[in-house]
A and B are shown apart, each in its own frame.
Chain A
Amino acid sequence: MTNLTDLTVAEIRDGFRAGDFSAREVAEGFNANVAAAKALNAFIVETPEKALAAADAADAAKAAGETPGALSGVPIGMKDLFCTEGVQTTAASHMLEGFVPTYESTVSGKLWAAGAGMLGKLNLDQFAMGSSNETSYFGNVISPWKRGGGDNAALAPGGSSGGSSSAISARLCPAATGTDTGGSIRQPAAFTGISGIKPTYGRCSRWGIVAFASSLDQAGPMARTVRDNALLLEVMAGFDPKDSTSLDLAVPQWEAGLSSNLTGKTVGIPKEYRPDGLNAEIAALWDQGIAWLKDAGANVVEVSLPHTKYALPTYYIIAPAEASSNLARYDGVRYGQRDLPDGAGLQDMYAATRAAGFGPEVKRRIMIGTYVLSAGFYDAYYTQAQKVRALISRDFDRAFEQCDLLLTPTAPSAAFTLGEKQADPLAMYLNDVFTVPASLAGLPAMSVPGGLDSQGLPLGLQIIGKALDEQTVLNAGLAIEERAGFVARPDKWW
C-alpha cells in the first residue's frame, strides 16, 4: 500500500476525494512521523489532536455528501510566526513564551476554513531573524539531510522558515506555511530540496503574523511540488481589509493555469548574479537551468541589475529599522514576558524585560535599527537606503522591459553546518545575497530544487517574476521541476 506520508498535497486531496483513504488515516500517518522526529526539533508545539479533529470533520462532511474544501483531508505545519487561536505562538522567542493568541491570523484562518488540519507550530529563527534556524530560543532545527561519505555533521535547514523546510523534506508534513522577509521561504527550500514561493507583496494578508519588517514580510507556501505551492497559495492569498497593504485583487486560479510550455516567454539572466568566485557547482546548475527553460520553449537574454551589490546593505538598514519599531511593542505590559527587578520602575522594567526576552541577534538588529533611525543619522542611513531601494526596484522594472522572468541561483552555497557562520553575523547575512533584491522590490519569487551537489546536498534555482505575475513564476518552476526530475530525499536517521 502507498505510504500516505509520501504523497503530495494534491495527491492527498485527490485521493481523499476519490475515497482511496480517509482523512484520519492521513492525519494519523503524519502525526506518527512528527512524534518520531524529535531529533530534528522542527516543531515547537505539536498539535496531533488538531490534525485529527480536522480530519474527522473532513471525513464526516464527506460521508454526509458535502462538497469538500480546497484542502479537506490535508494536514499541514504552521510556522510559529502565525497567531493561532488557543495555541501558543512564540516567534521562537522567550519573549512570547506562553503567549496564547485569542485570535487567528488571516492566512492560517483561510487554510483551516479550506479544510486543512494543523500538525503543529513549526520552529524558526527568533522573530524570523536568521538564515540557519540557529537563533531560536527553543533550540536549533536540524536538517534531515547529511553530506555523503559518512559525514555526520548536523546541517542547517536554512532560515528563517527552517522548521517548515526540515519538516517537509523529512515527510513530517506534506506542506507548511512560511514567511519571507529577505529569503526566509526560498533559502530554506533550496537547502532542503523542496519548493517555496514568496508571492507579490500584498497578496497574502500580514494580519496576525508576528511582524518583523512590515514593508518586506510576506507569507507563502512551502511544499515538495510546484503544483502544491500553486494550490496552497490560492487558499492563502486574497484581500484582507485588516491589512492596510493588502492588495484588493481577485486571486487567480494558479493551479488550473499551470503550464510548463514557456513558448513566447523570455527569461532574463542577470549578469550581476554571477560574481567572481561563484561556487562552480552553483554556476553549473544555473547553466543547466537555463538549458531547461530553453528546452521548455523560452528565449534567454542577458540582463543587467546594476544596483544588485547594494541590495544587502540596503536590506540591513531597512529591515532592522522596521524591526526596531515593530518590536517596541514587547514592553512587558500587554503580553509576553515581564522581568521586574526588585524596586524597579517602569523604564527599568522595559529594559530588563527586553534584555531577558530577546536573543542576541534580535537585540543586534533592534539596536542597528535604533541607531540608523536616530536623530542625526536618519537621512544618512535610512533615507539613503530607501532611495537605493527605489533604484533596485527600477533596475527590475527596466529588466522586465526585455524579459518576462529572471532565473538565478537561490543561495550562494548548499546547506552549511550548524555553527559554521554563527561567529560572524556578516557572513550569515551574505547568504541572502540572491534572495534579498526581489524582497526589496516586492516581487514574486520562488525556489525549486535543481539537483544535488557533489556532497549529495540539494541546490535550488530561483525564479523572479513581474509584480502580480505569480503564474509565470510557477510555470517556469514547473518547467524546471519536470526536467530536473528531482526525487532525492534524505535517508532517515532521526
Chain B
Amino acid sequence: MSIDLQTVKKIASLSRISVTDAEAQAMVPELNNILGWVEQLGEVDVTGIEPMTAVIPNIQRLRVDAVTDGNVRDKVLANAPQAEHGFFAVPKVIE
C-alpha cells in the first residue's frame, strides 16, 4: 500500500493539522517509508492469537458512584486560552 499526496492531505485533515502543499509533499516519502517498513508485520502468522488488550493482567476496578471532586471551576479554566463568564470560549460554531 503506497500513499499519495491526496492521502497525506486526508490524514492531515483527519488529524486536524493544517499542512501546506510543500509540507504534505515532503511527508509522502517519509510516511511511505515508515508504513512500508511496518507492513512486514503482515508476514507474521497470527492464527488463533487474540489481540493483546492488557500488558499486565489487572482487575478493572469499579468505584462507588459518589462525587469525589468538584468546585474547582477556576482551576479548570486557569489555563484556557480564552475563558469568559466561567466558560471556555471558542469561535462561533453556528450561524
Give residues in A with beta carbon < 8 Å to B: 98-103, 200-202, 215-216, 241, 244-245, 247-248, 307, 310, 313-314, 316-317, 324, 328, 331-338, 340, 344-352, 354-355, 358, 363-364, 366-368, 370-372, 374, 380-381, 383-391, 393, 425-426, 429, 440-442, 467-468
Contacts and interface: CB of A to CB of B under 8 A. Distances in A.
B14 A370 contact: yes
A367 B15 contact: yes
A367 B31 CA distance: 9
Closest 3 CB pairs of A and B: A442-B55, A386-B51, A338-B81
B90 A346 contact: yes
Contacts of A364: 27, 30-31, 34
Given A363-B15, A370-B15, 10 more contacts: A202-B58, A241-B63, A335-B81, A349-B90, A351-B13, A364-B31, A366-B17, A367-B15, A368-B34, A368-B35
B79 A334 contact: yes
Is chain B's binding surface mostly helix, strand, loop or mixed?
A: loop
Given A349-B90, A351-B18, A368-B35, A310 B41 contact: yes
B11 interface: yes
Contact of B41 (A328, A334, A384): A384
A440 B8 CA distance: 28
Contacts of B58: 202, 245, 247
B49 interface: yes
Contacts of A317: 38, 41
Given A371-B3, A384-B42, A336 B79 contact: yes
Contacts of B88: 333-334
Interface string B51-79: 11111101111010000000010011011
A80 B3 CA distance: 35
Nearest to B77: A334
A354 B33 CA distance: 24
Nearest to A316: B38
B44 A307 contact: yes
A202 B34 CA distance: 30
Contacts of B90: 333, 346, 349
A333 B81 contact: yes
Counting chain A CB atoms within 10 Å of each CB, the highest count among B38, B40, B75, B92 belongs to B38
Contacts of B46: 384, 387-388, 391
Interface residues of B, number: 52
B56 A442 contact: yes
B16 to A, nearest CB: 4
Nearest to A89: B79
A391 B46 CA distance: 8
A102 B34 contact: no
Contacts of A334: 76, 79-80, 88
B60 A388 contact: no
B52 A389 contact: yes
B54 to A, nearest CB: 8
B94 to A, nearest CB: 10
B79 A374 contact: no
A387 to B, nearest CB: 4
A364 B12 CA distance: 10
B93 interface: yes
B50 interface: yes
Contact of B40 (A215, A248, A313): A313
B91 interface: yes
B56 A467 contact: yes
29 contacts: A100-B79, A102-B75, A201-B55, A215-B55, A216-B55, A245-B54, A245-B56, A247-B56, A248-B61, A310-B40, A313-B37, A313-B40, A314-B41, A334-B76, A334-B79, A336-B81, A354-B16, A364-B30, A366-B17, A367-B12, A368-B31, A368-B34, A383-B51, A385-B38, A388-B44, A389-B52, A390-B51, A426-B34, A440-B55
B56 to A, nearest CB: 5
Contact of B11 (A371, A393, A441): A371
B16 A350 contact: yes
Nearest to A337: B81
Nearest to B57: A467
Contacts of A248: 59, 61
A367 B11 CA distance: 6
Contacts of A386: 51-53
B31 A371 contact: yes
Contact of B52 (A245, A335, A367, A390): A390
Nearest to B59: A248
B2 interface: no
B40 A344 contact: no
A478 to B, nearest CB: 25
Nearest to B14: A370
Given A346-B91, A351-B18, A385-B41, A371 B35 contact: yes
B41 to A, nearest CB: 5
Contacts of A328: 16
Contacts of B30: 364, 425
